[in-house]
Structures are given as C-alpha cells and as structure tokens.
Amino acid sequence: MNFDRIAILDWSAANRPRRGKDSIWLGLDDGTATNPRTRAEAFDALCALVEATLASRQTLLIGADFAFGYPAGFAQALTGRPEALAVWDWLAANLHDDPQNRSNRIALAAQINARLPGLGPFWFNPTRLPYPDLPHKGSTRHGNPFAEHRLADQTAKGAQSPWKLGGAGAVGSQILTGLPVLHRLRAAFPGQIAVWPFEPLTTPVVLAEVFPSLLGPEVNARLRPGIVKDRVQVTLLARALAGQPDLKTLLTPPDDPRISEEGWILGLGHEQALRDALA
C-alpha cells in the first residue's frame, strides 16, 4: 500500500502568529515546505492540499507530529465512549482558538481535570492565571487512574507524556490544539479522510500520527547554519515514507487492545526501513 503524495505536519501551540523555529511546518515528499504563521493558516493549507488531491484523483497521507489519542481509559472517562475519536469530537466542541492563535487550551485542561478523579492528569500552567485544578508540577498530582505514557510513548525514545502542557519538549498543548484542527479537516471533507489506526483505510486521504525524531541522527546530519530543524524534519520524513516499497508493514500496528484508543506512531519499530529509503 502506497500513496501518491505524502505530507508531514509539525505542529505548534504558540499563542501568537509565528514563523521559523518552533512554529508550524508542512513538508511534502518533493522536498518543498510551507511555514504557516497560525493554526488557522495551517488548516487552510491542509484543505488546499486535500482539495488538490481529490481533484486529481490521487491519494494522500498526512502525518501529524502529535498524539492522536491518550492513555487507555481517558476517552471513556471524559466522553463516555472508549474511542479516541470521541475525544477529538469533545475537544473540537470545547477548544476555542482564534485566527491569531489565542486559545483556551490551559483553561480547557483545567476544566478536564475538574471533571476527573483526583488532581490531574494534565499539569504545568505556563500562564499567570490561577487554575486550582491544574497543578504546576506533575509530582503534585494524585488519584489519577491513567498511565503517564501511552504504549507508543513508552516505545519511542524521547517521546513525552501527553499530560504535560509546557516546558522543554512538551507535547500536551500541541495535542489539545491539533486534534480539533484535524477534526475540522475531516468535517470539511466528509467520507474522504480516514484516521489510522482507528478506521479502515478505504479513503483517498489518510491521517496518521508521526514522530520525526525517529530520524533524529539523519536530521541532525543535514543541519546547517540558517536552516530550521523543523523544516528538515518534515521534508525528510516525508521522503522516507514515500521511499518505502510498501507501507502496509508500517501501517500494521502491534496487536495490543490499548492501541485502538491510544493510537500508534507510524514507522515506530521500522526506523531502519526509513533510513534505508533515504539512503
């Protein structure tokens, strides 16, 4: 199984328009990349990419660099449905994110915490606003029934907890702001976009979670002064995936019931195959 086009999306939860380092990058397997200033601009770029793919009757794989699910049990506790896509629905209905990147992600995390047992699971408040339900330190949380990491995060070297909202390498805020955008993208093209590994891959466009750090040494070897690492990561991973003789193996996650709720990282466990494609 292969795709005509592959795009990789590196995300940002920045609270203002931003370009360059630590911003949003959308890279294609032809080596080109764009750098939307805001999440609204990124959504428009994704829509244009999907529209072009459908118009040309091609297929497209979009890899997004943030978790598609949370540790097992969270979806049921939050939404009453043990499905990752139920969390997508809930976040899309409750996250507010304006055209200038101002979102309520921190307040929303505190709101979620207040609905669940104990104190947590989300933590780290980067604002000056008091949120009693959102502890600043992870060590002060208590009474949470959820694992700190998903199965994929335990396997991928360098992957961080989805509960951490700020600090070096934190991905929690990217997930809270990214999943609603992918939810809106699916809504804009009903029946045309499937989410791996939660749905059958019978649509022309597929969304999959990726982790560009799987190619960390290869990315670092290509860095030069003035070159943004994020740009290298998205284009290099897109090339590596496009160079696979058959993506079926990479699109077959481990046989673990947690994955149906937590998701999985495309290419995890197949790093050598990705490197071989670049070579």
Average of per-residue pLDDT values in the chain: 96
What are 23-76's pLDDT values in tens digits?
Answer: 999 999 999 999 999 999 999 999 999 999 999 999 999 999 999 999 999 999
271 neighbors 26 (Cβ within 8 angstroms)? no
* In the predicted structure, residue 151 carries a pLDDT above the cut 90: yes
CA dihedral 89, 92, 93, 97 (to 10 degrees): 170
pTM: 0.97
pLDDT at 156: 96
How high is the pLDDT of residue 249? 95
Per-residue confidence (pLDDT) for residue 244, from 0 to 100: 97
Residue 168 has pLDDT above 90, yes or no: no
Give the per-residue pLDDT at 68.
Answer: 98
Is the backbone peptide bond immediately before 121 cis, with ω within 30 degrees of 0? yes
pLDDT of residue 167: 84
Q: Percentage of the chain surpassing pLDDT 90? A: 96
Beta bridge partners of 208: 63
- Tokens 């982790």 found at: 211
